[in-house]
Each structure stands twice: as structure tokens, then as C-alpha cells.
Amino acid sequence: MDRPSRQDALAALYRLHYAELARLGFALTGDWALAEEIAQEAFVRTWRSWGRIRREQSAPAYLRATVVNLSRTSLRRRLREIRAWQGLAWPSSTTSTADGNGEPGADLLGALRQLPARKRACVVLRFCLDMSEAETAATLGVSVGTVKSQTAKALQRLRELLGGVEMVAPQHGGSDE
């Protein structure tokens, strides 16, 4: 069976995964416009790297990893800009709502923003995208053990930030493959 053309394959991937990638970017950055730019950039980078993607089934994982990495880079850049403009270190606490309007989930987004990038990525991939520990590890390029420990530490910190709210891990039908 012939492999579809790069254009056809990426068009199909875009239809299937763009919304998921934009949500992932938003969960990692807290900014919809930036999340959409990051998702689009992930597809551009996939277009450029298409010849190096050996199996078409690997493309969604490549896209997710690209979104995670671009989000991390964007957050670092934003932090440098804030420090440069304000001449201050990153604030140790932020408001608990995303924009102060009390929207549902705003407390969680505010708490997520307070987590370090790797812990935030583990939580978002595991809970928002319902990925297994193995899938999360592959996306982040770390071991399953690292995903487990980072997720556990992140959930503990979120419990503290959210006043004892219990976090429940996603269920994957018995095995976590």
C-alpha cells in the first residue's frame, strides 16, 4: 500500500488533531491565541520534518511533543519578557482565577500555571488528553517512572493550591500501555 502524499497525510492529521493540539497548548500556556499559533507551528514543523517521520502513526505523538516543547519555549520567553519589563522576579503567587472573572475551571488553570513546566505537562497530558503514563512519557521524552513521580508531585501541589480538592487519575481499562 502506498503512503499518502505529505499534503494529504498532513491535511488528515490537521482535521483529526488540530483541536486537541490547540487545547493542549492552551492548557500549557493559558492563552488561546498563543495555543492556536503553537498548534499551527507544530504542523509547519511536521511538514518540514515529514521525510524523517518513518511511520505515519508516529505523527500525532510528534505533533503533541512539538506542542509541549513550543509551549515550554513560549513560557520561558514570556517569563524573560516579564522580568525585563518589570525588572522583577516571577511572582511567587498569582491570582487564583485566569482573568478574575470567576469562570468555572479558572482556579484550576491558575493553579496549573503555578506548576513547573514538566509537572504541568504531565498533568495536562494525563488528565486533559487522557493519555496513559507510557504515552505521556513518550511525548515528553522521559521515563514512565518520571511521569509517575512528576504527576504525583504535581497533584499534591494542586491539592495544596486548591484547598484540598481531591484529584482522581484517569482510568485506562486496567493496563497502562
Does residue 138 lie within any of the structural domains?
yes
Q: How confident is the model at residue 165 (pLDDT cuts 50, 70, 90)?
A: low
Q: How far apart are CA 75 and CA 128, in angstroms?
A: 19
Q: What is the pLDDT of residue 100?
A: 43
- Domain end: 90, 109, 137, which one? 90
Q: How far apart are CA 143 and CA 123, in angstroms?
A: 15
Q: How far apart are CA 86 and CA 12, in angstroms?
A: 44
Whether residues 27 and 107 fall in one domain:
no
| Whether pLDDT at 89 is above 50 | no
Q: How far apart are CA 167 and CA 118, in angstroms?
A: 18
- B/e letters for 2-37, b = 16+ CB within 10 Å, e = fewer, are eeeeeeebbeebbeebbebbbbbbbbbbbbeebbeb
Whether residues 85 and 102 fall in one domain:
no
Does residue 155 lie within any of the structural domains?
yes
| Whether pLDDT at 148 is above 90 | yes
Q: What is the pLDDT of residue 144?
A: 93
- Domain end: 36, 58, 90, which one? 90
Q: How far apart are CA 18 and CA 46, in angstroms?
A: 13
Q: How far apart are CA 84 and CA 79, in angstroms?
A: 8
Whether residues 134 and 121 fall in one domain:
yes
Whether residues 67 and 115 fall in one domain:
no
Pair 97, 105: CB distance under 8 Å: no
Does residue 173 lie within any of the structural domains?
no
In one-letter notation, the amino acid at residue 169 is: A
- What CATH number corresponds to the domain at position 26? 1.10.1740
Residue 33: helix, strand or coil by DSSP?
Answer: helix
Whether residues 66 and 120 fall in one domain:
no
Structurally, the chain folds into a number of domains equal to 2
Q: What is the pLDDT of residue 80?
A: 67
Whether residues 84 and 97 fall in one domain:
no
Which is higher by pLDDT, 103 or 126?
Answer: 126
Write out the three cell numbers for 107: 482556579
Whether residues 63 and 4 fall in one domain:
yes
**How would you class 82 by CB atoms within 10 Å of its CB: exposed for 0-12, middle for 13-18, buried for 19 or more?**
middle
Query: Which range marks the domain in which residue 157 is found?
Result: 92-167
Opening angle at CA 24, ends 106 and 54, nearest 5: 175
Does residue 61 lie within any of the structural domains?
yes
Q: How confident is the model at residue 166 (pLDDT cuts 50, 70, 90)?
A: low
Mean per-residue pLDDT, 115-134: 87
Q: How confident is the model at residue 126 (pLDDT cuts 50, 70, 90)?
A: confident
Whether residues 101 and 36 fall in one domain:
no
- What CATH number corresponds to the domain at position 124? 1.10.10.10
Whose cell is 491565541? That residue is: 33
